């Protein structure tokens, strides 16, 4: 089918990428049907009332702007000017992210952002959301998606049209392409897991500096915290699954309490519900998904985490997924058929998503170790001084976070050359 006839398109997954993509396709006149396994998040208190936030940077901002939703997102976004590094002895110092006032990143609530994007997409008469619909596979011979209604258990087929799968890191559509040997996948799990916890407000006031991303780096592991609009912070512990300092070793409230008091005393003092939350909140796993063969002819395309999930240490998974959406939109001006478009999309994006996957892994070491190292700090100050003097000199972190005009692959290569 030709793109110019602007027919129907399915999107599988109304998460961050799927709902943004629905807006972009609607603006181009397509009839968009979005299938999402969860109930409509606009009618729920998502995450059981827990705030989970993400860092939004320039690449994500560019995608939101293109869709015309940036202003509404900025209403609940909190600027973070740098990393507040908390040392063992309680000393804390801010390391600025950029050298210019506009070089900040933003803390945004995942649930609020997702609701806002769904709301904006739903305002288009040519977008239909179908919540509670799980995609369980893809029947190519029938050119149909295999779907299950989560409320009734009814299994049915939906015409594949072209279908764009934004069903996240555990993508069922990717599994279907792999089973058909269209796609090849390599999953590299990290041996560190994460757990989200809360730093509540103190008498309605934030317990930490609001305009910063807080880090308690401890070499082999770390705690971070991002601000929320209600004066709380969402803290995330990143820690090995097994071993001496590990989730495995934190099997009792006493062990959790002792570990936090020993390793993160300044944060422990701000977390009255620590041990309760520790055992109530899930322990999440992390990893990188490398996929080759993101599309099946012009019928199905993987996009966002479904194609290339990465570890969260550069704060880029969502930003990269939004950049995917913008890139697909841009390529639509150059292609008249879905197969050619999907092919060009993978060709353009995969080197870049491989590059950010590598930089995200490297940044874990930087965040949990290097920021404490005096030599690292000296080099960072030198780089900042150079950047202020010479606009052509841009450190890698800035290229990734503040310069969407520089592709990830170039950010990785330029740093490699400088070494």
Ligand X SMILES: Cc1cc2nc3c(=O)[nH]c(=O)nc-3n(C[C@H](O)[C@H](O)[C@H](O)COP(=O)(O)OP(=O)(O)OC[C@H]3O[C@@H](n4cnc5c(N)ncnc54)[C@H](O)[C@@H]3O)c2cc1C
Report the residue number, 194 or 260, with the smaller CB distance to ligand X.
Answer: 194
Element (H, E) at 216: strand 213-217
Query: Binding to ligand X by residue 312, rule CB under 6 A?
Result: yes
Query: Binding to ligand X by residue 37, rule CB under 6 A?
Result: yes
The nearest distance, CB 135 to ligand X, in angstroms, is 4
Query: Binding to ligand X by residue 247, rule CB under 6 A?
Result: no
Report the residue number, 14 or 239, with the smaller CB distance to ligand X.
Answer: 14
As a whole number of angstroms, the distance between CA 227 and CA 233 comes to 4
Percent of the chain as helix, strand, coil, to the nearest 5 = 40, 25, 30
Among 161, 123, 166, 141, smallest CA distance to 35 is for 166
Stretch that binds ligand X, among 32-40, 138-146, 258-266, 364-372 (CB under 6 A): 32-40
The nearest distance, CB 242 to ligand X, in angstroms, is 19
The nearest distance, CB 176 to ligand X, in angstroms, is 10
CB 345 within 8 A of CB 398: no
The nearest distance, CB 20 to ligand X, in angstroms, is 8
Query: Binding to ligand X by residue 396, rule CB under 6 A?
Result: no
The nearest distance, CB 69 to ligand X, in angstroms, is 15
As a whole number of angstroms, the distance between CA 349 and CA 328 comes to 9
Residue from 162, 206, 293, 304 in contact with ligand X (CB under 6 A): 304
The nearest distance, CB 95 to ligand X, in angstroms, is 17
Query: Binding to ligand X by residue 271, rule CB under 6 A?
Result: no
Binding pattern to ligand X, positions 66-85, x when CB under 6 A?
Answer: --------------------
Q: What would you measure as the largest C-alpha separation in the chain, in angstroms?
A: 64
The nearest distance, CB 87 to ligand X, in angstroms, is 23
CB 356 within 8 A of CB 316: yes
Residue from 13, 63, 82, 206 in contact with ligand X (CB under 6 A): 13
| Residues in CB range of 4: below 8 A, 6 or more apart | 336
Query: Binding to ligand X by residue 166, rule CB under 6 A?
Result: yes
Sheet containing strand 133-139, edge to edge, reads: 133-139, 144-149, 155-159
CB 341 within 8 A of CB 395: no
Residue from 63, 82, 98, 168 in contact with ligand X (CB under 6 A): 168
Query: Binding to ligand X by residue 16, rule CB under 6 A?
Result: yes
Give the pairing of strands 53-56 and 105-109: antiparallel
As a whole number of angstroms, the distance between CA 244 and CA 237 comes to 16
| Residues in CB range of 254: below 8 A, 6 or more apart | none
Structure tokens at 353: 């998503």
Residue from 3, 9, 17, 67 in contact with ligand X (CB under 6 A): 17
Stretch that binds ligand X, among 31-39, 180-188, 249-257, 397-405 (CB under 6 A): 31-39
As a whole number of angstroms, the distance between CA 209 and CA 214 comes to 8
Report the residue number, 84 or 387, with the smaller CB distance to ligand X.
Answer: 84
As a whole number of angstroms, the distance between CA 384 and CA 390 comes to 10
CB 163 within 8 A of CB 300: yes
Residue from 112, 116, 167, 193 in contact with ligand X (CB under 6 A): 167
Binding pattern to ligand X, positions 105-144, x when CB under 6 A?
Answer: -----------------------------xx---------
Structure tokens at 171: 């993508």
Stretch that binds ligand X, among 177-185, 318-326, 342-350, 401-409 (CB under 6 A): 318-326
* Tally of CB atoms within 10 A around 370: 16
Report the residue number, 387 or 400, with the smaller CB distance to ligand X.
Answer: 400
* Tally of CB atoms within 10 A around 133: 23
Stretch that binds ligand X, among 86-94, 273-281, 313-321, 406-414 (CB under 6 A): 313-321
Taking the alpha carbons at both ends of the chain, their separation in whole angstroms is 48
Query: Binding to ligand X by residue 404, rule CB under 6 A?
Result: no
Query: Binding to ligand X by residue 38, rule CB under 6 A?
Result: yes
CB 149 within 8 A of CB 156: yes
Query: Binding to ligand X by residue 12, rule CB under 6 A?
Result: yes
Among 101, 112, 50, 60, smallest CA distance to 79 is for 101
Stretch that binds ligand X, among 1-9, 14-22, 332-340, 369-377 (CB under 6 A): 14-22
Which residues would be at the binding site for ligand X (CB under 6 A)? 12-18, 35-38, 54-55, 134-135, 166-168, 172, 194, 236, 284, 304-306, 312, 315-319, 321
């Amino acid at each position: 089918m030709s793109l110019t006839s602007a027919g129907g398109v399915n999107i599988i997954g109304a998460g961050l990428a799927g709902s943004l993509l629905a807006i972009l396709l609607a603006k181009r006149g397509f009839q968009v049907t979005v299938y999402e396994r969860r109930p409509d998040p606009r009618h729920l208190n998502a995450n059981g009332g827990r705030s989970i936030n993400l860092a939004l940077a320039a690449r994500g901002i560019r995608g939101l702007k293109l869709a015309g939703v940036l202003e509404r997102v900025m209403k609940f976004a909190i600027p973070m000017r740098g990393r507040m590094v908390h040392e063992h002895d309680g000393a804390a110092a801010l390391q600025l992210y950029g050298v210019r006032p506009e070089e900040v990143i933003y803390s945004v609530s995942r649930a609020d952002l997702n609701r806002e994007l769904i709301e904006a997409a739903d305002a288009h008469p040519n977008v239909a959301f179908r919540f509670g619909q799980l995609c369980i596979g893809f029947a190519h011979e029938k050119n149909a998606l295999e779907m299950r209604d989560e409320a009734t258990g009814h299994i049915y087929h939906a015409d594949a049209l072209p279908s764009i799968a934004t069903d996240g890191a555990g993508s069922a559509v990717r599994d279907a392409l792999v089973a058909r040997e269209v796609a090849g996948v390599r999953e590299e799990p990290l041996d560190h897991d994460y757990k989200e916890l809360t730093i509540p407000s103190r008498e309605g006031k934030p317990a930490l500096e609001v305009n910063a991303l807080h880090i308690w780096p401890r070499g082999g592991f770390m705690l971070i915290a991002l601000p929320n609009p209600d004066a709380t912070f969402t803290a995330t512990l990143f820690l090995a699954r097994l071993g001496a300092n590990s989730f495995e070793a934190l099997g009792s409230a006493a062990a959790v309490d002792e570990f936090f008091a020993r390793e993160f005393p300044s944060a422990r003092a701000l977390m009255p519900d620590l041990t309760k939350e520790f055992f109530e909140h899930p322990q999440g796993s992390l990893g990188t998904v490398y996929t080759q063969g993101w599309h099946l002819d012009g019928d199905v395309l993987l996009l966002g985490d479904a194609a290339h999930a990465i570890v969260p240490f550069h704060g880029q998974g969502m930003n990269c997924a939004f950049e995917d959406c913008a890139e697909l939109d841009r390529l639509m001006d150059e292609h008249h058929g879905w197969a050619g478009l999907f092919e060009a999309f993978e060709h353009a994006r995969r080197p870049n998503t491989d590059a950010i996957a590598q930089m995200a892994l490297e940044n874990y070491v930087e965040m949990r170790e290097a920021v404490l190292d005096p030599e690292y700090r000296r080099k960072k100050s030198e780089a900042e001084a150079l950047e202020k003097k010479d606009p052509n000199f841009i450190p890698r972190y800035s290229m990734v976070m503040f310069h969407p005009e520089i592709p990830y692959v170039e950010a990785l290569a330029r740093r490699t050359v400088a070494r």
